[in-house]
Structure 1
């Protein structure tokens, strides 16, 4: 498990227990799936680090682009990345081997009410999420999220942004969330603006749709949903049990952007990425993190697609 790090940004490493990763190799040292006989077990040390503005900008920006998917071009990701990496005592990057490497995963929380007046990208994100919530099929999400995000009440909303690379082991997730809870508590003790009434967790999900493999005219066509909501990050399914409201939403630029190779592969496999958000009351947030911790520990998570 990861251990809580000091709030001194210069003393910033937390270790996660070694996680075995299996790789298949052929006799020439290359990857092979032809045989199950040659199986190597590699123990990998994943480490959690505080953000370093001199190192983490590009890695965080890349993961933000993945998180926001088709709508990433709507936002100033450079400004958002700067804000995240400068907030270096709350949240984590997860890396292998050395702090100087790019992050394999990141997690952070931003105070929407604190940053909206001075950070246009945060205000734009709040307005975007409020708008997307109103388009959701979940009536509670459509009603509550805009009120909490844009209302003039006493709500203080922590926007949780988290993303990771393909096939990251599930075991790295609970320590990142647990560390962040500890850091938020320490920040509140230090009179910093992290005393939230709600957390809004932004994530990604997908729908099963008709495959385009056999279609000759797929350009500018919307895919027809044929299945239930599925999770890129399976722990989201567990966390949503603690949410006041949760639901998926379509991207505003879905179908407008050029189809990259990764998007084309999704379409061919019959997968349509959609956004997903969960609004969790602050008093329930530690229980939600405990829930995903137990979920991972008992092997409840399945293989991801990301």
Structure 2
């Protein structure tokens, strides 16, 4: 993927990607049939308030899972799309289409008086206190101080998006933040707080005792919806997962009644010091590049 448009221009980058499943079938085929390779061009765009509101809102709902109902997603989406020089949407074919992925950063200090951000600050503070990592000792005090500028990083994509589109989005974000700081815009952060999702495999609760269910939860290994999160956590000053507060209200066990295993999504926060952020972004590119 080439570099996204600059802050002053309307250029765009793209990436042509072969369907790896099709390539694998081609390699493994024992007959002489020609296998098709699917090429898809992904392009990065700045936010457009006339186009991107609904696509961003849909991805935010996916990011916050069952807890999305706790927030003013419309207000939050408005804030994101109005920052049209910071962050990216990733689309196929045309700017007018809905985003397949998005990435942005919001200055929590700059926007803390706005209801959508105030809701997020309260929510992240409480979730950090209940997390399983070292967030409780760092995040609540940092968010409550009102003195340090914390960049809240929000990113989400459709589940079938290839990971190769992600490093260019993060690289563009770093470049855009640097340009904004040079222009004296409020993007000089002391820390970045990255919000994401993870999950654990869990056995269906049908026909199981409470003890077996508890043991299954304890033994389940943490999995990542976004493979880059596993690498980014290595650069975090603190990180941890937390349960969604509304998780039991809209997820019926009948959804996995005929599956041996289901999944239990949970939230993930990573607190990264500003001087470590660029290194984390570089590591993401190297990690995804080596894994493909």
Give the TM-score taking structure 2 as reference length: 0.89
CA distance in 1, matches of 2:236, 2:251: 34
Structure 2 matches for 1:159-170, cutoff 5 A? Answer: 159-170=152-163
- In structure 2, the residue matched to 1:146 is 140
| 1:249–1:274 CA contact under 8 A, matched in 2 | yes
| 2:204–2:256 CA contact under 8 A, matched in 1 | no
- In structure 1, the residue matched to 2:3 is 3
Shift of 1:224: 5.1
Q: How many residues align?
A: 281
- RMSD over equivalenced CA pairs, Å: 2.6
Gaps of 5+ in 2: 23-29
Structure 2 matches for 1:1-306, cutoff 5 A? Answer: 1-8=1-8, 11-22=9-20, 39-117=35-113, 119-138=114-133, 140-152=134-146, 154-212=147-205, 214-215=206-207, 225=217, 226-257=219-250, 259=252, 264-265=255-256, 268=259, 269-299=261-291
State the secondary structure of the residue aligned to 1:45: strand
| 1:130–1:145 CA contact under 8 A, matched in 2 | yes
| 1:50–1:93 CA contact under 8 A, matched in 2 | yes
State the secondary structure of the residue aligned to 1:248: strand
Which structure shows the bigger proportion of residues in helix conformation?
Answer: 2
Q: 1:220-274 CA distances to partner (integer Å, 9 max, x unpaired)? A: x99951312111111100000000001100001110235499xx25994321000
Q: 1:255-298 CA distances to partner (integer Å, 9 max, x unpaired)? A: 0235499xx25994321000001000000000000000000111
Gaps of 5+ in 1: 25-34, 301-306
Shift of 1:127: 1.2
Q: 1:75-127 CA distances to partner (integer Å, 9 max, x unpaired)? A: 0100000110011100000000000000000000000010011x111011011
Give the TM-score taking structure 1 as reference length: 0.85
State the secondary structure of the residue aligned to 2:220: strand
Shift of 1:39: 3.3
State the secondary structure of the residue aligned to 1:246: strand
